[in-house]
């Protein structure tokens, strides 16, 4: 393989020459939001775009790196800020580097023993996610997009099952216009 490059647009998060674009609407990730909502409200939110990502994906060969930008739109679902689904890596020894380029929010991380850590993110902040820590990014600014770059082993894989069923230990909600972590009522069930 030859070296190659792409250009990241720091204003809108888009990347040239990407291999994969994903758009996540509310209907793609209903179960990841844990605050209670009636069926009717859920039905009205179905087409709402929560985030999108542009991935430079290299073959799943040991040693290759893939990376992507993610743009999380501003907003909340019953108080829970817009966020990524969040996942563990299937290949759990895979670490990841996150670099925030626009907006502000939080990265939350949780390991298999249930230890939970949150870290505020602002442009220029780079966060090392060690192996075996599940991770999610949350946009806590209801007026602006949150844009970040993530770099990971191409064979990392994404395991969403635990987060979809139980979620992270804590939820980030908007209370009186300010972000606040609360216990996730779904976590102990
Ligand atoms: C990131 C995420 C991306 C979308 O590239 O995959 O931000 O989030 P979800 O995959 O949780 O929907 C990453 O962590 N890759 O490993
Ligand atoms: Zn990851």
Q: What is the pLDDT along the chain (189 residues), one digit of tens a residue?
A: 899 999 999 999 999 999 999 999 999 999 999 999 999 999 999 999 999 999 999 999 989 999 999 999 999 999 999 999 999 999 999 999 999 999 999 999 999 999 999 999 999 999 999 999 999 999 999 999 999 999 999 999 999 999 999 999 999 999 999 999 999 999 976
Which ligand 1 atom is at minimum distance from the Cα of 136?
Answer: 11
Which pLDDT score is estimated for 20? 98
Best residue among 13, 68, 145, 153 to mutate for probing ligand 1's pocket (most ligand atoms within 8 Å of CB) is 68
Q: What is the CATH number of the domain that holds 100?
A: 2.60.120.10
CA angle centred on 48, ends 150 and 175, rounded to 5°:
80
Ligand 1 neighbours by CB, cut-off 6 Å: 53, 68, 70, 84-87, 96, 135, 150, 152, 156, 158
| Residue 14 belongs to some domain of the structure | no
Residue nearest atom 12 of ligand 1, based on CA coordinates: 85
Domain range for residue 161? 20-183
Which ligand 1 atom is at minimum distance from the Cα of 70?
Answer: 7
In this structure, the strands spanning 158-159 and 88-89 are antiparallel
pTM beyond 0.95: the answer is yes
Which pLDDT score is estimated for 189? 60
Token pair listed for 149: 């770059």
| Residue 1 belongs to some domain of the structure | no
Please give the tally of structural domains in the chain.
1
Which pLDDT score is estimated for 116? 98
| Residue 11 belongs to some domain of the structure | no
| Residue 114 belongs to some domain of the structure | yes
Which pLDDT score is estimated for 62? 86
| Residue 3 belongs to some domain of the structure | no
| Residue 28 belongs to some domain of the structure | yes
Nearest ligand to the CA atom of 52: 1
Phi, psi dihedral angles at 40 (to 5 degrees): -65, -45
Q: How far is CA 182 from CA 35, 99, 134, 175, in A?
A: 11, 26, 18, 10
How many Å apart are CA 17 and CA 140, to the nearest integer?
Answer: 30
What radius of gyration, in Å, describes the C-alpha atoms of the chain? 16
| Residue 189 belongs to some domain of the structure | no
| Residue 9 belongs to some domain of the structure | no
Closest by CA position to 122, among listed 142, 137, 104: 104
């Amino acid at each position: 393989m030859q070296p190659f490059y792409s250009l990241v647009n720091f204003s809108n998060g888009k990347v040239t020459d990407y291999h994969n674009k994903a758009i996540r609407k509310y209907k793609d990730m209903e179960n990841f939001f844990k605050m209670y909502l009636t069926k009717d409200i859920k039905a009205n939110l179905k087409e709402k775009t929560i985030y999108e990502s542009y991935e430079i994906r290299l073959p799943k060969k040991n040693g290759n790196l893939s990376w992507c930008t993610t743009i999380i739109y501003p907003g909340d679902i019953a108080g829970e800020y817009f966020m990524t689904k969040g996942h563990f890596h299937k290949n759990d020894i895979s670490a990841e580097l996150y670099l925030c380029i626009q907006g502000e929010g939080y990265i939350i991380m949780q390991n298999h023993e249930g230890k939970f850590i949150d870290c505020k993110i602002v442009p220029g902040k780079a966060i090392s996610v060690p192996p075996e820590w599940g991770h999610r990014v949350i946009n806590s600014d209801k007026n602006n997009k949150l844009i970040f770059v993530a770099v990971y082993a191409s064979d990392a894989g994404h395991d969403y099952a635990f987060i979809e069923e139980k979620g992270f230990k804590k939820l980030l909600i908007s209370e009186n216009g300010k972000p606040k972590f609360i216990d996730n009522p779904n976590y102990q069930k």
